[in-house]
Amino acid sequence: MGFNRYASTGGKEKKIALALRYHQPLTNETSPSLLEKRILEYLDNQKSLGMNIHTIRGQRFYLEVFFKWCMERGIEDPNQMTISLVDRYQKYVSQYRNQVTKKVITPETQNHILISMKTLYEWMQRREYIVKNPCWNVRLVKTPKRIPRNILKVEEVEKMLLVPDLESGLGVRNRAILELFYSTGIRRFELQKLKISDVDLVNRTVFILEGKRRQDRLIPMSERASDWIRKYLEEVRITLVKGPDDGTLFVSVRGGKMDTSRIGEVVKAAKEKAEVEKKGSTHMFRHTTATLMLDNGADIRHVQEMLGHRDLNSTQIYTHVAIRKLQEVYEKTHPSAESLDNTSKNKNVDTQASDTS
């Protein structure tokens, strides 16, 4: 069974799983079960409706958890699932362990797995492939609101930006990548998909075509990022392209579009060489961009538009770490905000005043 090769919900196995084409058979059986056929048909339907390929690959990965569970229990027809079996599956998911770390998966990952099953059955119900939908009452796990902790300081970012070797073409390319991440906070796959035509170096804008949930957006970039992209385009890119040129902005050493994993490695290498001890790679820049903009007075709706968040609640999480204004108010209003030295001086002044009175 194909699932066993990449059953983990994280690490290298997940990267392998997501790299596979979404419609690859789930098993090596010559006569696949009806459940397998429905899952593959569902994924193919999502593609035809225009769903982002990264989202589809993610759904396939989570549905394989469900598929494996069903196969181990002899459930080959979607109609065999009952409300009782759904409850049992929910319990199984709540105890599911990452096969690499051996830790129970996070509540967020549990919900992804449950939602993928629920959405599959809703689709089959609309197609009249099933008599009843046993997943109508699936209960999602309560997830804590996690505050981003890998916000970079400006000094840390600047150290990372200085890492690439500017004497080499790849160094110039990598500097342009880092500058664009820092300037815009775009997602890794959004940067990977960029074409030269998406970047306006005169007006300093970047057009994101079909970002998450297929939302297009036009966002600004810094003059510095624009300058480095111009340098990369004028001096380096032409030396990297091999074969037909499809206009991809950032090109790999093999001459084609860079893999998302390679883009992540560029950021990770810069972080390690700059001795920045924070977890994460490309998303660090996204968190940092949002936090710094809010800290410097940006309207939250402008930050929402910049990041491409559909829900304002996704952006509001950054208000919990953008605390510069809160610190300013605190220092002006809270009695204990003064330093120990100032408190002692004030106490001495008060004592001297009482002695002379």
Enter the tokens of residue 24: 């690859």
- Burial code (b: 16+ CB inside 10 Å, e: under 16) for 307-323 equals bbbeeeeebebbbebbe
Number of other residues whose CB lies within 10 A of the CB of residue 258? 21
By mean pLDDT, which of 192-201, 229-238, 299-308, 330-339 is the weakest? 330-339
Instruction: Exactly one of 188, 237, 271, 309 is catalytic; name it.
Output: 309
Q: What is the pLDDT of residue 104?
A: 92
pLDDT bin (cut points 50, 70, 90) of residue 21 is low
Residue 177 scores a pLDDT above 60: yes
With CA atoms as reference, report the closest residue to 59 among 45, 78, 76: 45
Instruction: Exactly one of 14, 54, 68, 283 is catalytic; name it.
Output: 283
pLDDT bin (cut points 50, 70, 90) of residue 338 is low
At residue 85, φ and ψ (nearest 5 deg) are -70, -35
Q: What is the pLDDT of residue 9?
A: 40
With CA atoms as reference, report the closest residue to 221 among 191, 260, 250: 191
Q: What is the pLDDT of residue 297?
A: 86
pLDDT bin (cut points 50, 70, 90) of residue 2 is very low
Span 161-173, average pLDDT: 97
The string of DSSP codes covering 159-222 is: HHHT-S-TTSHHHHHHHHHHHHHHHH---HHHHHH-BGGGEETTTTEEEE-S-GGG--EEEE--
Instruction: Exactly one of 212, 231, 257, 278 is catalytic; name it.
Output: 212
Residue percentage of the chain with pLDDT more than 70: 83
By mean pLDDT, which of 188-197, 276-285, 317-326 is the weakest? 317-326
pLDDT bin (cut points 50, 70, 90) of residue 90 is very high
Residues 315 and 148: beta-carbon distance below 8 Å: no
Active-site annotation holds for 12: no
Q: How far apart are CA 243 and CA 112, in angstroms?
A: 40
Place of tokens 């003059």: 223
Active-site annotation holds for 279: no
Instruction: Exactly one of 112, 204, 286, 287 is catalytic; name it.
Output: 286
Residue 111 scores a pLDDT above 60: yes
pLDDT bin (cut points 50, 70, 90) of residue 263 is very high
Q: How distant is the alpha carbon of residue 42 from its chain centre?
A: 24
Residue 240 scores a pLDDT above 90: yes
Active-site annotation holds for 146: no
Spell out the domains of the chain, with CATH numbers in brackets. Answer: 2-126 (no CATH), 154-321 (1.10.443.10), 325-352 (no CATH)
Q: How far apart are CA 259 and CA 251, in angstroms?
A: 9
Residue percentage of the chain with pLDDT more than 90: 53
Over residues 112-149, the pLDDT tens digits come to: 999 999 999 999 999 999 999 999 989 898 877 777 77
pLDDT bin (cut points 50, 70, 90) of residue 241 is very high
R_g of the chain computed on alpha carbons: 26
Q: What is the pLDDT of residue 19?
A: 39
Residue positions counted in the chain: 357
Span 23-39, average pLDDT: 82
Residue 269 CB contacts under 8 Å (≥ 6 apart), including other chains? 163
pLDDT bin (cut points 50, 70, 90) of residue 13 is very low
The string of DSSP codes covering 25-36 is: -SS--SS--HHH
Compute the Cα dihedral for 344, 350, 354, 357 and give only its sign: positive
Active-site annotation holds for 187: yes
Span 279-288, average pLDDT: 89
How far lies 222's CA from each of 113, 181, 235, in Å?
Answer: 39, 11, 20
In the three-class reduction of DSSP (H, G, I as helix; E, B as strand; rest coil), residue 160 is classed as: helix
Residues 35 and 125: beta-carbon distance below 8 Å: no
Instruction: Exactly one of 112, 175, 187, 193 is catalytic; name it.
Output: 187
Q: How far apart are the first and last CA of the chain?
A: 91
Over residues 316-336, the pLDDT tens digits come to: 777 766 667 777 777 887 777
Enter the tokens of residue 94: 């709540």
Compute the Cα dihedral for 58, 64, 65, 67 and give only its sign: positive
**Average confidence score pLDDT of the chain:** 84
Residue 26 scores a pLDDT above 80: no
pTM summary value: 0.66
Span 217-246, average pLDDT: 95
Active-site annotation holds for 283: yes
Instruction: Exactly one of 62, 182, 232, 318 is catalytic; name it.
Output: 318
Enter the tokens of residue 297: 């007075």
In the three-class reduction of DSSP (H, G, I as helix; E, B as strand; rest coil), residue 257 is classed as: strand
Q: How far apart are CA 1 and CA 67, in angstroms?
A: 11
Span 49-58, average pLDDT: 79
Active-site annotation holds for 217: no
In the three-class reduction of DSSP (H, G, I as helix; E, B as strand; rest coil), residue 146 is classed as: coil
